[in-house]
Structure 1
Amino acid sequence: MGSYTVAKVTFRVQETDPTRAGCSSLRCELSEVLLDPAVVTAVFFVALGCFAAFAYVNEARSCCREERRRVADERDAFAEFADRVAGLSPTDATGHEDAGNGPPSADGAPANAGGAIRMQSGRRVDSGWDRDLERVVGAYRETVTAVPHYEEEYDDTVAESLAEELGYDTAVATVSGKTLSSGLQSALVTRSRQARANRVELIDAIDEELDALDDAEATLSTIDRERRNLLDHLEGVSRAVTFDAAIDVWTRLSQLEERCEDAVESRQDQLRDPPMETDDGPPLYEYLYSSLSETSYPVLAQFSQLADGLRADRRRIESRFVTPE
């Protein structure tokens, strides 16, 4: 995973944009939302069959829940790290050498920014490192880099993670400095708490998306239930009134398809106005659904699939309109 401002993930972003103007019909969604159009065109609904489980929405929900768990683990890890660093007693600047160990200079670079971060597996390879800095690195290793998914998703060294999450200047001062100054301690605590806040914001956005998925599934279930009731009704009428019943069911199925169209437009509005914005990261929905195998827009794909089934039902009913000569 990754949060918008601090994470290190590259996502596969679709070339097509289902939020753009002029792409509101389900026919458009069928051609652009699904990576493999055969997924939709192969769907065939028999008259008495039940609509299959809403696979796209269910898979999307699983992605969101897993991502939420990972983000929550990182939120808690940064909170614990910040608390542990805040509990240390930094060295006063007077009377001690503070090489590369204070807050960044006016241009944002640490005092020893010209040197490399000399650290392997979380241990300094030179001498003169004080115990407080060792405790800082140990705390980071035991919190942030100890989250269950860290190796799978990041697999960075402690130094690399510090630089990515809390800034290169802070990382250099931590792993290449001599002492834990009050300036460095403050930077570590402040930036760790900001990293936590970023993840809290992301969790809120994921929760909003989970609610949206629940709403979408409720709408899908209602439309599909009405569809199946109509088809059951048509199967139960006598042959003498089949033509009139078929006309009525055909019309009401068309209305259900229009409700799918409305749901697609509503979802497109959500895609255009996500609950969380980012300046330099991927949009929320690509971030959440990049790992899906068939589409990065599962809600659109699900309504498109259902609408395709409704059209297939109407085509079969049309055969009842032909009366023998």
Structure 2
Amino acid sequence: MTATDDAVDGSRAALEDAREALRIERRRVIDEREAFRTFRGRVESVSTEATSPDGSSAAAGFRGVAGPASGSGAAADAGAGGPAGPPGSGLAAVRDAYAETVMSVPHYEEEYDDTYERSVAAEFGPELAYALTRSAGYHPEYEPALIDAVESAIEERDRLVERLEVEADSLDRAGSRLAAVRREIASLDAAVPEGGFGALDACRARAGVLVEDCDRIAARRQRVIAAHERDLRLDGDAVDLPTYLYQSTDATYPVLAAVGSVGERLDGLTRRIERAIARVG
């Protein structure tokens, strides 16, 4: 395909822009996943604490986790990570670990620019976020809930990386097949001026086959998009991955846009062939 051909339909540019956006997003998701893994390791070493005078947990009302810790106040204070520090030191350690890992990924400011409170609410939910930012201490009940939430954040990004790899394969496959169609369009286009009726009729038939090829490329792409929606559900909602990935590009659905552009070239070629047939007929 020549540079002029690409300028005519723009299909290659749409896919190249999509590949670049996909590359950036994949790098960001992997950075976040690794940051959460590091954060998990830091959290596992943070001591839990209890602040009530009798040693019982002040977080007994925290839903979704175990009830008050059993045992003496000293045992509750010690937690899993060793001797307890000053009241609130556990929460401070969690906050510092989060800021130095999750909030320190290279794209954090550009992509999120959230405060600590807003970020943990978005990642872990409002209840756990309240416990981590408004409590008097890092109580034993918080630790398993936080570890579970971090595991969910890691798994969420694992799933997204898998879908991004499927998406990359879909872009490459569509790009390769569309490139073959564009080459044939150029070949047929060059044959029109000198073709007799038989040759032109063969060109018309071949152009029809290329239209069917484009329809198959579009249908396959629609199946991939549907698979994204089935397999990637965040916060209970199906994610339209192309919209998420390509909102900053000229084509939110780059493969379908590219197919449409090539289809327009095929329509023009078919009309040209029909006119040529009319002249020689």
Match of 1:277 among 232, 235, 241: 232
**2:45 corresponds to:** 87
Indicate how the Cα distance of structure 1 residues 255 and 324 shifts in structure 2: closer, same or farther if over 3 A, else same.
closer
Q: Give the distance between the partners of 2:248 and 2:55, measured in 1 at CA.
A: 51
Mapped contact 1:103–1:187 kept (Cα < 8 A): no
* Secondary structure class of the residue paired with 2:16: helix
TM-score (norm 1): 0.70
Q: Give the distance between the partners of 2:117 and 2:184, measured in 1 at CA.
A: 58
* Secondary structure class of the residue paired with 1:267: helix
Match of 1:292 among 249, 256, 267: 249
Structure 1: give runs of 5+ residues left out of the alignment.
1-44, 109-127
Mapped contact 1:141–1:158 kept (Cα < 8 A): yes
Q: Which has the higher contact order (CA 8 A, sep 6+)?
A: 1
Aligned residue pairs, count: 257
TM-score (norm 2): 0.80
**2:120 corresponds to:** 162
Mapped contact 1:250–1:317 kept (Cα < 8 A): yes
In the TM superposition, residue 77 of structure 1 has moved relative to its aligned partner by 1.1
Indicate how the Cα distance of structure 1 residues 246 and 276 shifts in structure 2: closer, same or farther if over 3 A, else same.
same
Indicate how the Cα distance of structure 1 residues 182 and 161 shifts in structure 2: closer, same or farther if over 3 A, else same.
same
Mapped contact 1:98–1:177 kept (Cα < 8 A): no
Q: CA RMSD in A?
A: 3.1
Q: Give the distance between the partners of 2:200 and 2:96, measured in 1 at CA.
A: 73
Q: Give the distance between the partners of 2:243 and 2:263, measured in 1 at CA.
A: 24
In the TM superposition, residue 193 of structure 1 has moved relative to its aligned partner by 1.6
**1:200 corresponds to:** 158
In the TM superposition, residue 55 of structure 1 has moved relative to its aligned partner by 1.6
Q: Give the distance between the partners of 1:70 and 1:106, measured in 2 at CA.
A: 31
Greater alpha carbon shift after TM alignment, 266-275 vs 143-152: 266-275
**1:119 corresponds to:** none
Indicate how the Cα distance of structure 1 residues 319 and 185 shifts in structure 2: closer, same or farther if over 3 A, else same.
same
Structure 2: give runs of 5+ residues left out of the alignment.
67-85
Q: Give the distance between the partners of 1:283 and 1:322, measured in 2 at CA.
A: 46
Going by fraction, where is helix more abundant, 1 or 2? 2
Q: Give the distance between the partners of 2:128 and 2:279, measured in 1 at CA.
A: 81
1:164-192 Cα shifts (integer Å, max 9, x gaps): 21122222222222332332122222211
The residue identity in structure 2 corresponding to 1:99 is A
Structure 1 runs, 4 residues or longer, greater than 4 Å off? 92-95
Identity among equivalent positions (%) equals 32
Q: Are 2:24 and 1:66 aligned?
A: yes
Mapped contact 2:65–2:141 kept (Cα < 8 A): no
Mapped contact 1:129–1:177 kept (Cα < 8 A): no
Q: Are 2:219 and 1:265 aligned?
A: yes
